[in-house]
Every structure is written in structure tokens, then in C-alpha cells.
Amino acid sequence: MPMRLRLVGFTLLVVFFLLAAVILWPATALAPWVERASSGHWRLAGAEGSIWNGNGMLLARAGDSASWHIAQNIRWQLRWSELWRGRVGVDTTFEQGSSLIAVTTEGLSIEQLDATLPAPVLLVLLPGALGRYSWGGSVHLRSNAFRCAWNNYFCAGEIELLWNDAEVDEVPGNKLGDYRFRLVGENQALRINLATLRGRLQINGSGEIAARGLRFKGEAAATEPNAATLDAMLNTLGRRTAIPGKYLIDYREAGANQ
């Protein structure tokens, strides 16, 4: 066999094995990435399949010393057709809902999101002391356009969160209520607008999450007659006003680089 044909055959064999390795890249390879991306709050367990088409269990914990608990079963599948557009598109299916996320050389975008997740899965990502509370309830997320660039952490678009049957173990009694959050990407900051839909804790305001940390300003009030447990929590977040049971919230949590 001529040397040239042998070289071509060897090259094709190498390409074949490399392609097979990429296609069959095990789903377990995603586990370290998930943990790093969530700053140690999430873990992917029981991963099966490949990084392109697989499933697993998402675990969550509130802090480094907290125990892991099962948060959600998830499944993901690559949209091969998106590769022709120079993008990596991934369909993700949750126990309740789904999402479509696209990754390009410029950044990451959420092109469809309509899913319900347990509140602790998301709220453990809050910075500082807020992330260490034992949150409860469920959060419904909706978005048709939200994107972030790799460079300068530039974000644009909007995500709506409906937090239903909100509760926190540190505040015993009935559930706190239902709340709507609007997260709007504006350059290097994520703007937050919070409104109460119903509940015994009325809280409304706005703020931002940026490199310097979390900032929020608003008003809060307990609507029930015996609100001692709520008052204790609100005392840590704001200051009393002349109106009994009403507080002005001015919460700041510095970022890691502050």
C-alpha cells in the first residue's frame, strides 16, 4: 500500500476515534462544571448518558457544612440542528417544565424558559446570609429572551419568577405569601423588582445584583396581629418606621471582591 494511502487511512482512523470520544463523552464530566458554576451549592449526581444526551439528579445545599438533598431530576438533549448555525443548543427537561439554552462564542442565552423548581434550589444561590436561610415553596420561572456575554458579564433581557407558598423555617407559622420578581439584565447589573401578590408578609421594592454585591431597598409590613417572629426577621433586614409593624428595608450584601 502506498505511503500516502496509509497516511490517509491513519488520519481517518484518528478522526473517527476523536469524533466517537466527543460524541460519547460521559455525562459525569458535567458534574465538576455544575458544582463550580453554582459555587458549590449544586451537585449533579447519578448522571447517565453523555454530555449531549443524558439525565441525572440535581442536589442542593445551603452552605459548605450543610448536607446535600435531592432537589430535582433533570434531562438534557443537544439540538444537533443548531450546530449548523454555529451554536450549541440544549433542551433541558425538569420535573415540571423545560428550557432551551443556547451557547455561542459570544455568550449564553435563554431562549425559552417555563419551569417550576423548588425554592431552595434557586435561593441557596443568594449571596451571604440570605442564602443560608431555609427557604420553602416553589418558584415558577418564565423567559423568552435573556442573554449574557462572556466578556464583561454583560446581560440583557428579562426573567419573571413567581414564588408561590413562600416560607422560611426560621419564621414559624403560616406561609409568608406569594411574590413576583422581575429580573432585568442591564449591562453589568441584574435589576430586581419585587411585588407581593398576597400573604401575611407584604414586601415591595427594587434593587440589583452586580459585582459589588446585592442591594435592595423597599418596604415591608406584617399583616397578621401577632407578628413577633416576622418582626425579628425584619429587624435584621431594615428599620422600624413610625407605623407599627412597618419597616424600611435597605439591605446590602457586599460581593466577594469588595
What's the Rg (C-alpha) of the chain?
A: 23
- So what's the pLDDT on residue 42? 86
Instruction: Indicate the burial class of 101 (C-beta count within 10 angstroms; 0-12, 13-18, 19 or more).
Output: middle
Q: How many domains does the chain have?
A: 1
Strand partners, 218: 205, 249
Cβ(241)–Cβ(249) under 8 Å?
Answer: no
- So what's the pLDDT on residue 13? 43
258 residues of the chain, pLDDT tens digit each: 555 554 544 454 444 443 443 444 577 778 888 888 777 888 888 888 887 888 988 888 766 667 787 778 899 888 877 777 778 888 999 989 999 988 888 888 888 999 998 888 888 777 666 777 788 899 999 999 898 887 766 888 999 999 999 988 777 777 889 999 999 988 778 899 999 999 888 889 999 888 777 888 999 887 765 566 677 677 767 777 777 778 888 887 776 544
Cβ(179)–Cβ(196) under 8 Å?
Answer: yes
Instruction: Indicate the burial class of 126 (C-beta count within 10 angstroms; 0-12, 13-18, 19 or more).
Output: middle
Q: Which domain holds residue 223?
A: 3-254
